[in-house]
């Protein structure tokens, strides 16, 4: 077959996919308008999945099974009023793909609801009789009618300060906006890294007055102050913030200081109101006024009270460093600190170091110490998932390797229901085992305890379930296998002593430094200290997998009105900041009530 024939065949195949998807959407809209569950169910495979984000249910709602999906669509349609389903121009066109092992036609569609604009993904495959049916569909709210994001053709005119001779210019307007001398913020965002920046930027574009506070002196310091050698472990195309991409000249894996500087620039460019050197101390909810009394403490010891309607905790998956009680640690005469306080191995050449933990931070610190001539030993307390950064960790980035608009790819990523997410990660984990076979066997050969996570779903599900327990390997594993970095199992240690670790066989292993790479307390602990025991109990667990398979209390209304959480990698924050911002805007417009109502 020559190139002309190949191109013609590809064109015909693409046109067929477009026609098939368009016909299915038309049939779906007709069935949905009838609110007949039977008609809707007939368009789906028995084993099918729907994920709604706000468009129909105002929540993150996964539904499985054709009849269950049909019943829920029929019930929600009276409120949602969804209509106008179509294949949009300017977005990725319908195409033939394989997802979780299923050959499918995948199509991005758009639609309207009684509230605003929506978008989704549908995946079609033939049933036993050859009829194309959906085995997956997602629906997401993308905008609120009359309150669309102030971007592109809807961007602000700048008339408030442009050529305002004798009046305030842009810098004057910004100084007054940041000062909050004449008003209260509608939203207080706590934390100025990727989560805080993403949600503050989104809220700004929806016209919601937002103040972000950052405890460090500069935006980006939460990255700059981390260990000297740190760079992102996933590639740049996952890690763009909303509205503004990194320069095309940047490296694939972004160094921490480069990222920190970008965050600072981003906050200025996106006109984010931020108080640096400011820590959120406590908050009290007033049920009558539906506002928070939030106490903020500046670096100079002064305090300021603001009264927002919403608190958005954007300070990470975890909270305070976890310092375990290790037998004899108080007797150790050397230097002990948590990995959060580690900067560099410079100055420790020729010394002996223990690192308690075998996760990514522990291994990166071990590499840094080793390369500074420190005799370094990792102490393993529990089984760990080890994944090579390249090629294995890159497998989870495959969807972004396909190219296209971030909005399209983000929509695809957000479409997966929890069961499909787990199924996908299981398949990827098996491929990782094949790619990393020699590395893993080498580690097991030196006594390293290795696993692929609960139900063999790999490190990504470990991250969602517990926030750690894995190492994205940058080279430390090979050094352990060679014996250049030591490995000591914690269960062989009797106790720590003045000069190191006393083993159960009577031998003492010397150490001058112990780095506790032991993780962090859960986010709920920060909530407890800031909002009180009762509020922490009412809100419940933050992060980790909830009863419906989604993350607990993340990106959506929580049991406490006016409390929100956003965390995760930069890509996660970019995707889900849109949905938090839409919910908050909807509540401010009176379109959405608290979760309990």
Nearest to 478 by CA among 366, 342, 561, 581: 366
| From-to residues of CATH 3.10.450.50 in the chain | 12-144
Q: How far apart are CA 53 and CA 113, in angstroms?
A: 13
- Each residue's pLDDT tens digit, 289-319: 999 999 999 999 999 999 999 999 998 887 8
Average pLDDT over residues 55-79: 97
C-alpha to C-alpha distance for 136 and 421, rounded to whole angstroms: 12
Residue ranges of the chain assigned to CATH 3.50.50.60: 174-319+523-588, 324-518
SS3 337: strand
The pLDDT score that the predictor gives to residue 414 is 95
- Asked if pLDDT for residue 86 goes beyond 70, the answer is yes
Q: 3.40.50.1100, 3.40.640.10, 3.50.50.60, 3.30.465.10: which CATH number matches 174-319+523-588? A: 3.50.50.60
Please give the class, per CATH, of domain 12-144: alpha beta
The whole-number pLDDT of residue 62 equals 97
Residue 108, beta-bridge partner list:
121
The per-residue pLDDT for 174 is: 94
pLDDT at 170 over 80: yes
Superfamily classification of domain 324-518? FAD/NAD(P)-binding domain (3.50.50.60)
pLDDT at 157: 81
Q: What is the Cα–Cα distance from 191 to 312, expressed in whole angstroms? A: 9
Q: Give pLDDT, residue 403.
A: 79
Report pLDDT digits (tens) over 339-367.
998 989 999 999 999 999 999 999 999 99
- Other beta carbons within 10 Å of 217: 12
- Any idea which residue has 């931070």 for tokens? 361
Task: Say which residue the tokens 């970008």 belong to.
Answer: 262
Task: Please give the average per-residue pLDDT across 136-163, as a whole number.
Answer: 89
Distance of CA 149 to the CA centre of its chain: 22
Q: For 471, list phi and psi in degrees, rounded to 5.
A: -130, 120
Sorting pLDDT into bands at 50, 70 and 90, what band is 4? low
Q: How many CB atoms lie within 10 A of CB 94?
A: 24
Residue 366 has a pLDDT of: 96
Residue 230: its pLDDT value, please? Answer: 87
Q: Strands, DSSP E only, in 164-323?
A: 187-190, 210-214, 273-276, 278-286, 291-298, 303-306, 310-313, 318-321
Q: Supply the pLDDT for residue 121.
A: 98
Which is nearest to 201 in space by CA: 191, 186, 212? Answer: 212
Q: Report DSSP letters for 255-279, one per residue.
A: BHHHHHHHHHHHHHHTT-EEEESEE
Residue 10, CB-side half-sphere exposure with 13 Å CA sphere: 7
Assign 508 a pLDDT band (cuts: 50, 70, 90).
Answer: very high
Q: What are the pLDDT digits (tens) for 426-449?
A: 999 999 999 999 999 999 999 999
State the angle between helix axes of 418-435 and 437-445 in degrees (0 to 180), rounded to the nearest 10: 70
Three-state secondary structure string covering 427-470: HHHHHHHHHCHHHHHHHHHCCCCECCCHHHCHHHHHHHHHCCCE
Give me the chain's average pLDDT, please: 94
**Which pLDDT score is estimated for 25?**
98
Q: Is the dihedral of CA 188, 190, 192, 194 positive or negative?
A: negative
Find all residues with CB under 8 Å of 457, minimum gap 6, and list them.
422, 425, 426, 429
Query: Residue 229: pLDDT band by 50, 70, 90 thresholds?
Result: confident
101-111 residue pLDDT tens: 999 999 999 99
- Decide if 443 contacts 405 (C-beta within 8 A): no
pLDDT of residue 14: 87
């Amino acid at each position: 077959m020559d190139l002309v024939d190949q191109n013609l065949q590809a064109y015909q195949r693409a046109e067929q996919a477009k026609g098939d998807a368009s016909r299915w959407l038309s049939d779906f809209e007709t069935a949905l308008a009838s609110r007949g569950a039977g008609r809707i169910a007939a368009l789906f495979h028995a084993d099918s999945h729907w994920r709604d984000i706000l468009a129909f249910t105002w929540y993150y709602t996964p539904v499985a099974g054709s009849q269950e999906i049909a019943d829920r669509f029929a019930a929600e349609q009276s409120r949602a009023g969804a209509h106008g389903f179509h294949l949009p121009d300017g977005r990725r066109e319908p195409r033939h793909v394989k997802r979780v092992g299923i050959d499918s036609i995948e199509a991005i569609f758009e639609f309207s609801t009684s509230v605003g604009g929506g978008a989704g993904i549908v995946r079609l495959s033939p049933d036993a009789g050859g009829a194309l049916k959906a085995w997956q569909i997602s629906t997401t709210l993308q905008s609120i009618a009359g309150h669309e994001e102030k971007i592109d053709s809807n961007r602000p005119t700048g008339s408030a300060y442009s050529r305002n001779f004798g009046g305030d210019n842009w810098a004057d307007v910004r100084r007054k906006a940041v000062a909050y001398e004449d008003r209260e913020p509608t939203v207080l965002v706590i934390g100025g890294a990727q989560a805080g920046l993403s949600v503050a930027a989104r809220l700004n574009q929806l016209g919601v007055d937002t103040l972000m506070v950052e405890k460090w002196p500069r935006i980006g310091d939460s990255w700059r102050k981390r260990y000297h050698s740190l760079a992102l472990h996933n590639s740049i195309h996952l890690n763009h913030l909303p509205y503004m991409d990194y320069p095309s000249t940047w490296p694939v894996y972004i160094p921490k200081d480069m990222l920190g500087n970008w965050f600072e620039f981003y906050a200025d460019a996106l006109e984010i109101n931020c108080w640096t050197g400011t820590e959120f101390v406590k908050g009290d909810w007033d049920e009558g006024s539906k506002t928070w009394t939030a106490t903020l403490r500046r670096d100079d010891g002064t305090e300021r009270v603001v009264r927002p309607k919403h608190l958005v905790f954007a300070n990470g998956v975890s909270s305070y460093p976890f310092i375990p009680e290790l037998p004899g640690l108080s007797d150790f005469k050397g230097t002990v600190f948590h990995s959060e306080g580690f900067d560099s191995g410079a100055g420790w050449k020729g010394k002996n170091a223990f690192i308690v933990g075998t996760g990514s931070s522990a291994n990166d610190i071990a590499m840094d110490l080793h390369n500074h001539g420190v005799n370094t030993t990792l102490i393993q307390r529990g089984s760990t998932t080890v994944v090579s950064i390249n090629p294995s960790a890159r497998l989870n980035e495959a969807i972004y390797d396909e190219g296209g608009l971030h909005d399209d790819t983000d929509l695809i990523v957000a479409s997966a229901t929890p069961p499909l997410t787990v199924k996908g990660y299981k398949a990827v984990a098996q491929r990782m085992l094949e790619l990393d076979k020699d590395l893993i066997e080498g580690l097991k050969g030196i006594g390293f305890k290795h696993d692929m996570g609960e139900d063999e779903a790999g490190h990504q599900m470990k991250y969602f379930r517990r926030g750690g327990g894995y190492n994205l390997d940058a080279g430390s594993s090979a050094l352990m296998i060679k014996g250049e970095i030591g490995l000591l199992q914690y269960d062989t240690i009797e106790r720590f002593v003045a000069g190191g670790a006393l083993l159960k066989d009577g031998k003492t292993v010397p150490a001058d430094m112990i780095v506790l790479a032991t993780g962090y307390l859960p986010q709920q602990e920060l909530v407890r200290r800031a909002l009180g025991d009762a509020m922490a109990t009412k809100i419940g667990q933050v992060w980790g997998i909830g009863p419906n398979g989604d993350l607990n209390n993340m990106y959506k209304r929580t049991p406490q009105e006016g409390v929100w959480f956003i965390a995760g990698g930069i890509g996660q924050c970019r995707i889900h900041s849109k949905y938090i911002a839409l919910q908050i805007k909807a509540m401010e417009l009176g379109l959405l009530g608290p979760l309990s109502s």
